[in-house]
Structure 1
């Protein structure tokens, strides 16, 4: 691989490039968190670093899945080999990764909340606020920068992976911002009559922020479960039914059956048209042209659309 292609691998204008850049930034944030956490004696900072590390691992898995999907739908020998081994594609992996990622993010926030409550009940924790503030400022800058970059990039990419990654960065930024506020207030009350609250500031703010961010990944988890369970998306089903009913009326068919599912970025559509028994035979080319017409009406003809159209006189084959 040339140096130019290596540099282009971290460009955020592609899904893979955005995820690679996120992974690199996550490694930096994780190292900062664990290092400064140990130096300052802050469990919250250590947790923030470990949280970033877990998020980075899941982003690496998301990148792997994104590359597999792109490779399996691409032309060339590599894509053909993947299709031969995985004829149904890799779309089913995407909601699995999104669901696990969302659960881990929520679980991490729940764990942080429980930890914060435990620290509060045990009398708080003394910190080196100067080192903690340096960490919080550096990490907050990286988190906000990566989160905003991901949101801006995803306006064009429209990738669930990049969207969840950007959400993860903003969640990390919220946690870090709460820590920064706690550390600044801790420095401000040192040597005053309010110094007794200093050990309680960090866990209190962290607990409040966790309550806010815990629900954030729930929408992603819900959609991932719907994709894994192959729950029929109502909007796609309605669109396909409208197209099929128009074709039935136009060509004098008896009825149709439509089966649709959304699996990650993939759209799986199976259409069966019931043709009147004894209808005049047609050349296969006519049926192929009709399939092309139906596919054009349905739209979204991309490598991520799986469309099957059959014609039969036997209702049992359609059901």
Structure 2
């Protein structure tokens, strides 16, 4: 039966918290630089990048808090531990990102309708290069860490850095086009490039927070996923057990909350059920547990 030692779990938690702290420092640099430089250039797209980074800062802070809580043992107030905090934080983070995407889209469309606004293209291009390089580097680093320690919090934070990188890349390409255009197309695009880029980035970014929000709300609301691999393994195993013993029917519930799965199996047996002693029934429970093939610290099983 798989089992993670406490030291390995604590080490993964320290790596997770250290990585999120690094992300917070990165967000502070990008947010402050983007807003200040955007105000200097009078560029909505650069300011939007800074606002998005500020939201990421709030999200990273919440993720760091969640990372510290989820490793705490259960207590009297939270008898099932703190695993529910993780999807709750992911829901809040993704909802904030979704709000700023909708706001950016509306703002960009309004600017286009009002005739656009010309900005310093070269300044925006340099911004796109620098912020894109920072975002890409942190995304690559966090993605590797998330895969190594299996952290949904870092995976979600890395996804926000990927959106940041996408913002920077679209901004860079959108304004770099000006270098190859001739009048009158150059003058027209110079006025509309900024609001068009804002609207485009909002549309490109929206699917990512929507996907995270859908998955995390499913966990917050304790919804069962019929396609879950653990659920399918449990169903296959219970059918085998049912064929071997006099089981009239069984009902199972599998819910994932954060990093923990709560599994309940109710079995109604017939008069010819042969496992009568506690020891024999415990062996059946052990068989079901082994068949699930899950670490001890990632599941609550009730049979």
- For normalisation by structure 1, the TM-score amounts to 0.80
Pairwise CA RMSD: 2.8
Residue of structure 2 aligned with 1:256, choices 247, 250, 264: 250
SS at match of 2:117: coil
Q: What's the offset of the Cα at 1:282?
A: 4.8
* Distance (Å, rounded) in 2 between the aligned partners of 1:225 and 1:177: 30
Confirm whether residue 265 of structure 1 aligns to residue 251 of structure 2: no
Confirm whether residue 162 of structure 1 aligns to residue 154 of structure 2: yes
Q: What's the offset of the Cα at 1:195?
A: 2.9
Equivalent residues of 2:35, 2:50 under 8 A apart = yes
Residue of structure 1 aligned with 2:176, choices 169, 184, 187: 184
* Distance (Å, rounded) in 2 between the aligned partners of 1:304 and 1:176: 38
Equivalent residues of 1:174, 1:209 under 8 A apart = yes
Q: What's the offset of the Cα at 1:63?
A: 2.0
* Distance (Å, rounded) in 2 between the aligned partners of 1:146 and 1:281: 56
Q: What's the offset of the Cα at 1:281?
A: 8.4
Q: What's the offset of the Cα at 1:114?
A: 1.3
Residues 19 and 302 of structure 1, relative CA distance in 2, 3 Å threshold: farther
Q: Deviations for 1:213-258, whole angstroms, at most 9, x for unmatched residues?
A: 2222222222122222222121333321222232333343433221
Aligned residue number for residue 199 of structure 1? 191
Q: Mapping of 1:135-146 within 5 angstroms?
A: 135-146=127-138
Q: What's the offset of the Cα at 1:307?
A: 0.7
Q: How many residues align?
A: 290
Confirm whether residue 87 of structure 1 aligns to residue 79 of structure 2: yes
Q: What's the offset of the Cα at 1:268?
A: 0.8
Aligned residue number for residue 274 of structure 1? 268
Q: What's the offset of the Cα at 1:277?
A: 5.2
Q: What's the offset of the Cα at 1:29?
A: 0.7
Residues 244 and 255 of structure 1, relative CA distance in 2, 3 Å threshold: same
* Distance (Å, rounded) in 2 between the aligned partners of 1:106 and 1:283: 55
SS at match of 2:62: helix
Aligned residue number for residue 4 of structure 1? none
Q: What's the offset of the Cα at 1:130?
A: 4.3
Equivalent residues of 2:91, 2:213 under 8 A apart = yes
Confirm whether residue 241 of structure 1 aligns to residue 235 of structure 2: yes
Pick 1 or 2: higher relative contact order, CA cutoff 8 A, min separation 6.
Answer: 2
Q: What's the offset of the Cα at 1:44?
A: 2.3
The gaps in structure 1 that reach 5 residues or longer are 1-8, 73-81, 310-319
Aligned residue number for residue 291 of structure 1? 285
Confirm whether residue 209 of structure 1 aligns to residue 211 of structure 2: no
Residues 281 and 269 of structure 1, relative CA distance in 2, 3 Å threshold: closer
Equivalent residues of 2:31, 2:49 under 8 A apart = yes
Residues 289 and 118 of structure 1, relative CA distance in 2, 3 Å threshold: same
Q: What's the offset of the Cα at 1:292?
A: 2.0
Equivalent residues of 2:224, 2:254 under 8 A apart = yes
Q: What's the offset of the Cα at 1:172?
A: 1.1
The gaps in structure 2 that reach 5 residues or longer are 1-9
Equivalent residues of 2:121, 2:190 under 8 A apart = no
Residue of structure 2 aligned with 1:222, choices 203, 206, 214: 214
Confirm whether residue 16 of structure 1 aligns to residue 17 of structure 2: yes
Q: Which moved more, 1:196-205 or 1:178-187?
A: 178-187
Residues 223 and 196 of structure 1, relative CA distance in 2, 3 Å threshold: closer
Q: What's the offset of the Cα at 1:159?
A: 2.5
Aligned residue number for residue 122 of structure 1? 114
SS at match of 2:301: strand
* Distance (Å, rounded) in 2 between the aligned partners of 1:208 and 1:215: 13
